[in-house]
Amino acid sequence: MTRDALEGKVAIVTGAGRGIGRETAIRLAAEGARVVVAEIDAETGRETTEHIRRERGEALYVETDVTEPESVERLVRETVQAYGRVDVLHNNAGGSTERDGLVTEVPLEEWWRTIRVDLFGTFLGCRYGIAEMMRGGGGSVINMASLVALRGIAGRHAYTAAKGGIVSLTRGLAAGYARHRVRVNAIAPGGVATERILAMMGDRAETLLAEGAGIPSIGRPSDIADLVVFLASDRSRLITGAIIPVDSGASATTSVG
């Protein structure tokens, strides 16, 4: 992908302070997009923004709580005030915690926390982002699903429900807004070696990330960012309503070797 692939486009990335969101924001800027870093944590959000600027990219930080309608509406409004339009929305903010579990055991507050951050946050991003895209003549929405939305996996039932909802929402939005030239797709990652996951895996990390014989067991944030850049660009103009796994084949096979 050349730098002009996203030249002139305006992209919002939620949860851009760390992990996949940070890598995606940096890559979008490197490809020529003007990037709005949406992050609830001001310190990490500003770090991402300053990194992009040091690399001669253009970026704006907007403190954002994706669970609050007023916050997401303000995010889109400030994006338009700064750059005049919204072309790309990457609804990346989300995740699960160790409190998640079986439906008979998960605390109710954890259920609603997960639904609010992952599913409701994605809904709000689409609600305000797509409205602006329609005014600008179209755009690309990239949601974050998960391997757990494609396969039955024991435990983490709040996260599974939220990500499953994102899959269905993505398909419905793709059908509903195609006539407005708004494409809506979702990425369904398997294991990704973010800072948090690397800390949890410890010494196993390098083995799982090895790129020798066969396909690595887990990916890097850059693997997801590569796909986001493609879906954000006009080179994916015929792709909408797709749920794209990035999971080393886990959702399609029993084993890869």
Question: Could you read off the pLDDT of 212-239 as tens digits, one per residue?
Answer: 545 656 788 899 999 999 999 999 999 9
Residue 67 lies inside a defined structural domain of this protein: yes
Residue 19 lies inside a defined structural domain of this protein: yes
Residue 202 lies inside a defined structural domain of this protein: no
Q: Does residue 32 sit in helix, strand or coil?
A: coil
CATH code of residue 33: 3.40.50.720
Q: Which of 61, 83, 128, 159 is catalytic?
A: 159
Residue 22 lies inside a defined structural domain of this protein: yes
Whole-number Å distance between alpha carbons of 25 and 2: 16
Residue 215 lies inside a defined structural domain of this protein: no
CA dihedral for 147, 148, 151, 153, sign (positive or negative): positive
Residue 200 lies inside a defined structural domain of this protein: no
Structural domain total, the chain? 1
Identify the domain containing residue 173 by its residue range.
Answer: 3-190+227-245
Question: Could you read off the pLDDT of 14-66 as tens digits, one per residue?
Answer: 999 999 999 999 999 999 999 999 999 999 999 999 999 999 999 999 999 99
Active-site residue flag, 159: yes
Helix axes 121-136, 157-177, angle to 10 degrees: 20
Residue 100 lies inside a defined structural domain of this protein: yes
Provide the pLDDT confidence category of residue 252 given band limits of 50, 70 and 90. Answer: confident
Residue 218 lies inside a defined structural domain of this protein: no
